[in-house]
Amino acid sequence: MPAESTQRLHRAQAAAPSSSVGPESSPPATNTISRAPRVGHKKSRKGCAQCKKRHVKCNEEAPCSNCVRHKVACSLAGGPHVTREDAKPRPPSVTSSSSRSHSTSHKPGDSSRSTSPFHAPYAAITGSIDRSMSEADMTGARALDVELMHHYMLHTKYILFQSPDAVDILRVWQEETPRIAFRHEYVLHAMLGFTALHKAHLEPERLPKLQTFAVDHFDKAFRLYREDSSPFGVDNAEARFVFSWLATFFSFAIPPSALPIDAMAELLLLIRGVEIIVSSTWQWVSQGPYAPIFARNIKDGITAPPDAYHSLEGIDMGLGHLDYMIGVEAMLPEDRRVCVAVTTELKRLYDGVFRSPGAGSIAYILCFPTQDSPAFASLIKRRVPQALVILAHYCVVLDVLNTRWWMHGWPARVMTDIVSSLPAQWTQWIDWAVQSILIKPHCPISSDGLLI
């Protein structure tokens, strides 16, 4: 057997090609297989998020052909900016981390561990407001806080509540809310901040100072609220419930930094956060001091004056054409679905407000839409014509609350922005809404914040 193996080895070596021919032979040649030159291709640098997630090439159109074929919302046409599953988080640079460490606590929305549903909309609404204070203002801050607390106790009826026939509800806001504020500092700051705006409304000569203090108080309130990582429970349910409504009213009362349409989109997101808080705290709040509010199904707890609910001529004509309007031009399937759902809910809102006087409320009007709020807000920000037409008709309902000092002027400002943003061929769809809001007698505001 060894002899046979040796013979096979010699035969294999003899059959193998010699590795060299002579002393001047070139180095052994490698396996050279001729290959065609590599053809370059255009890489998709600006492709949509959906194609990047699927690792496919995007044609970078809006919407791209892949998303159209798969019937999904393309990020280039306003769809969601999903992240790739294999995306790795980028470590923060030394420069960025150091700059964040030197930022002041007055800057809104600067908490990376925030779980608050309010902080992003609040930061967008108040982002450009001057927060600088003089040394004299900072020295007198404590005295002003006492003045604001006194103002709240005297004018609770006009600050938060304007229903004279519900003494039990007034007592809740006037007595229980300060008691909660003393136990939860973020509620105290929110209450003082909102009261500062009401005082500025009554004393316009002090507006710059009071507005600065109001924003400063709410900056602190949002920061403290974010830092409270405790789960919902009996100890904090009432505080979070009160804070969510104070944050809502404040966001309407403060002059927005963004354009009216963009600010309205942020408010829809913020109020969506209110709905989350209310639903999460209901089981505790409804059994405590705020039970009278829930006894009226909360929607009547913060109720608008009955005479504010009035019948408008042409409601059926104004709403009847919205379904047809949505189908006038091509839309992404998801965008169309959102507009149809919001329109259906808007019709129910009209029925509750205008066809049943006294049955609606502030909460009922503000908490719209209850479904697809983020998607509808995105359509508004993108200035999708169908969404703007729907928003214009929502402003007609919002105008019912125009008697409130914190709401006064909002519907008209948003409607004016819609008129200037809509393409000419779309303005015919909002004629009735424009007439209902912009073409009507001017109503002045009395000293207590009500229309006269």
Read off the pLDDT band of 4 (50, 70, 90). low
What pLDDT shows up at residue 307? 46
DSSP letters, 130-158, are -----HHHHHTHHHHHHHHHHHHHHHHHH
What pLDDT shows up at residue 128? 75
Q: Which residue has the tokens 């809404």?
A: 433
Q: What is the mean pLDDT of residues 214-235?
A: 90
3-state helix, strand, coil in the chain (%, to 5): 60, 0, 40
Q: How far apart are CA 389 and CA 326, in angstroms?
A: 9
Per-residue pLDDT tens for 263-274? Answer: 999 999 988 888
Closest by CA to 41, choosing from 57, 27, 21, is: 57
Per-residue pLDDT tens for 282-301? Answer: 889 888 888 877 665 444 44
What pLDDT shows up at residue 84? 45
Q: How far apart are CA 278 and CA 229, in angstroms?
A: 17
**Residue with the larger pLDDT of the pair 5 and 190:** 190
Query: How large a percentage of the chain has pLDDT more than 90?
Result: 36
Q: How far apart are CA 25 and CA 196, in angstroms?
A: 95
Q: What is the mean pLDDT of residues 117-135?
A: 75
| Cis status of the peptide bond prior to 369, with omega within 30 of 0 | yes
Q: How far apart are CA 183 and CA 280, in angstroms?
A: 20
| Average of per-residue pLDDT values in the chain | 77
Query: How large a percentage of the chain has pLDDT more than 70?
Result: 69
Q: How far apart are CA 145 and CA 91, in angstroms?
A: 42
- DSSP element (H, E) containing 271: helix 260-285
- The total number of residues written for the chain in this structure: 452
Helices (H), 172-234: 177-183, 185-202, 207-227
The amino acid present at 187, given as its one-letter code, is V
**Residue with the larger pLDDT of the pair 243 and 10:** 243
pLDDT(115) > 50:
no
What pLDDT shows up at residue 271? 87
Burial 160-172 (b: 16+ CB within 10 A, else e): bbbbeebeebbeb
What pLDDT shows up at residue 296? 57
pLDDT(217) > 90:
yes
pTM score > 0.85 for this model? Answer: no
What pLDDT shows up at residue 160? 72
Question: Who's near 442: CB < 8 A, 6+ residues apart?
Answer: none
Q: What is the mean pLDDT of residues 442-447?
A: 48
Read off the pLDDT band of 224 (50, 70, 90). very high
Q: What is the mean pLDDT of residues 120-127?
A: 77
What pLDDT shows up at residue 302? 41
What pLDDT shows up at residue 358? 58
Which of helix, strand or coil describes residue 451?
Answer: strand
